[in-house]
Amino acid sequence: MTRTTLAEATPTVHRRRLTRLATAALCLAATGGTVLAACSPGTPATPGAGGTPPVTSSSGGGTATTPPPSSETSITEGTSGTEGPSATTPATKAPSTTASSHTAAAASTRCTRASTNLKLGETHGAAGSVYIQLVVTNTGSAACTLTGYPGVSLVYGSDGKQLGAAAVRDKQSWGTPKVTIKPRASATTEVRLARAQNYDDSTCHPQQAAGFRVYLPDETGADFLATKGFEGCLATGVSLLGVQSFH
């Protein structure tokens, strides 16, 4: 058996010490002067690991080394940093809920002289006045509307000259509504006629009336309704007539 003497072992010991010193110097240079556990003698440092050793895992018959996690955040190309569709994907528009305009109901037409029939209705008296009903009937095939007041005046003579002032608009509880008249249906209003006998003859200048001239709302043509027994005042400064809106 061959024995190794102390003199023969000395070069080997010196080589080991020199190796350890070189390794320590490399570790100090790599870590900026900070001594890490990985730089202890006998444990070589891992280049490029930043002081974090890799994780070793065993699966089946082989061994895999997992690199340490990176401190940087990775952003996938083509996506934004917020929730919702990406900038390259157009958003889907919601279906419209607007109702079709074809379902709107057609409006009624205005009542005219050509589509109506006008006549006098009931008459009744009150203190110092008489009230005469006007009745308008829809003779057309479709509903029509009347809005507001008719124009009414007394006339006299064979030429239908206006007798006195035209009717003023009387206020009523229903205001000025729009009334819709169906075919063969009617709407009414009342004309108030103050008695000419309420005034002095010198102020009124009474005159027997031949009838009423009536304009439907928004019409430029008038109807004549003959009457008997009513008097008016020739003086235009005396107001005998008042009228309400149709209802």
Whole-structure pTM value: 0.56
User: Do both 123 and 201 map to the same domain?
Assistant: yes
Angle at 238 between CA 243 and CA 244, to 5 degrees: 5
Which percentage of the chain shows pLDDT scores above 90?
Answer: 50
What pLDDT is attached to residue 43? 45
* Residue 194 located in a structural domain: yes
* Residue 138 located in a structural domain: yes
User: Do both 36 and 120 map to the same domain?
Assistant: no
User: Do both 31 and 132 map to the same domain?
Assistant: no
Residue at 238: amino acid letter: V
CATH number of residue 221's parent domain: 2.60.40
Question: pLDDT tens digits, residue range 125-159?
Answer: 888 999 999 999 999 999 999 998 999 999 999 88
* Residue 57 located in a structural domain: no
User: Do both 161 and 235 map to the same domain?
Assistant: yes
Phi, psi (deg, nearest 5) at residue 6: -60, -35
Per DSSP, what are the bridge partners of residue 155?
Answer: 162, 211
What pLDDT is attached to residue 177? 81
* Residue 77 located in a structural domain: no
* Residue 19 located in a structural domain: yes
Q: What is the largest CA-CA distance in the chain?
A: 172
* Residue 136 located in a structural domain: yes
* Residue 54 located in a structural domain: no
Q: Are 212 and 150 within 8 A, CB to CB?
A: no
User: Do both 201 and 117 map to the same domain?
Assistant: yes
For residue 228, the enclosing domain spans: 110-243
Which tokens sit at 150? Answer: 């008719």
User: Do both 239 and 118 map to the same domain?
Assistant: yes
Phi, psi (deg, nearest 5) at residue 12: -65, -45
What pLDDT is attached to residue 217? 94
Phi, psi (deg, nearest 5) at residue 224: -110, 130
| Residue of 203, 218, 227 whose CA lies nearest to 154 | 227
| Structural domain count of the chain | 2
User: Do both 130 and 234 map to the same domain?
Assistant: yes
* Residue 71 located in a structural domain: no
